[in-house]
Structure 1
Amino acid sequence: MDIRHATNPTDFKHYTTERIRNEYLIDSLFEPGEIHMVYSHYDRVVTGGAVPINDGLTLEDKNTLKTNYFLERREIGIINIGSKGKVLVDGQEYKLNKRDCLYVGLGKEEVVLYSEDQSNPARFYFVSTLAHKEYPTKILPIEEAEPNHLGSESESNKRIIYKYIHENGIQSCQLMMGMTMFEPNNIWNTMPAHLHDRRMEVYLYFDMDEDARVFHFMGEPQETRHIVMKNEQAVLSPPWSIHSGAGTNSYTFIWAMSGENYTFTDMDGVKMDDLR
């Protein structure tokens, strides 16, 4: 497990490109036959990726979490961004096609990830947060998720937002998770920008061409910086930071939030005049 500590926005003003990438960029999540995870001290969020090949991959890291099993004090959201796969939760099987979401609540002792076709494996992306109450394990195929059509061609941000884990969807303690898909020739996400000082966020960018890039903007509104990101990379967004991006092509991203408030609309808008 890679450990990332919280950072101060005053110090962030002096970071080099290399330092920004080391602190916030999550690279190489999806390696065949392996699980990779990052533990952030922002709201104790764990972000990870798994690509099962020959055998199932068990979700565990007792040395970092200091618990008997991964979900002893946690909940998790899992979205498959690859080919067909399945997840065994204490022996119960849940099949996930591409873009389907599975929520697993507090107290489940064994979570094992499998691919249906070893030559064309599943690619499981997951985000885990602390939990205080058990909610039922639940699967939500993308076909059953409510699409929200937002943006316009004139603003280059015409997109569809699918909300999976939220107050009016799959119930959780504090984890919120969903996916945003862009229409062709639309590139801007989360602009106008916003902040939510009561919770952090993490983005995973995927479904990108090999040479495509997303310029992800972060930092305080008056002190913005950027990270250049490629396919299947994730980025941590502190509560004090904007989180917006523009791509060289259309792309898809998964957003996940954790913190004090459990309301999708809990955000403070940033005026365009305030961006620097």
Structure 2
Amino acid sequence: MTTPGSCVVRVAVDPGVALSVAVTGAKENACLVLSNSLGASWGMWDELVQRLRPSVRIVRYDTRGHGCSDAPPGPLTLEKLGRDVLAIMDNLQIERAVFCGLSLGGLTGMWLGANAPARFDGLVLANTAANFPPPDLWKGRADAVRASGMAPLVEPTLDRWFTETFRKTSPKRVDEIGQMLQSTSINGYAACCGVLAEADMSSQLARIPCRVRVIAGEHDPSTPPSRGAEIVSAIAGADMITLDAAHLSSVEAAEEFALGVRDFMEKI
């Protein structure tokens, strides 16, 4: 959903490809750019926006092939996803920002930190890893959605994204996320699966000079805290907080996630 007070724009990032971008907050505030996970849209950040919007300018966008953004016409690369973020910032005349990405969004953040560090005061890398082996898992998933659509993925994905307790206590929000997943473009989802199959930032993490905070979910089966610790050990000065949540910690542990982001931004 669009948070009240948000301005929604379309930003062209390639010929024939535009991304949907929502901006909340005054220009004079510190800027936070949010990047969604595979299969989600900017709506996964609703809880964080609600908690930070009085004091932060928040830019969230739908990754190519997700939400209301255009689907890619062909294969995608991590570099392409990173350059999309820079194109959005250029379009909105944002010189520097703090970047927060979850899962695929966190991987995008690592590329940005290694390749465009002058644009970022800090990175929040949530529920993510420097690589996502084995490649055949993602290639198989891309083939599956092309053959059968998104619907068969919904329940097993929600099982990974949320703990059983959260699914029982917050069924409405879980259902919203499930609908978000099911409505994702097949071509967009498959193309981003290709990114996860091929991308590996592990050798570039030491190049990241800006401040980094890693957020992990204690019950995350996809990117457990041990994967977050790998990132911290490779980046000088990085730290990590672990939340009582599964993979979509920005939703399940919304208050603690927001505190972690706010504290990080205040420190820089």
Q: Of Structure 1 and Structure 2, which has the larger fraction of its residues in helix?
A: 2
Structure with higher Rg: it is 1
Task: Name the one with the larger strand percent.
Answer: 1
The TM-score, its normalising length taken from structure 1, stands at 0.28
Tell me: higher relative CO, structure 1 or 2? Use CA pairs within 8 A at least 6 residues apart.
Answer: 2
TM-score for both structures, normalised by structure 2: 0.28
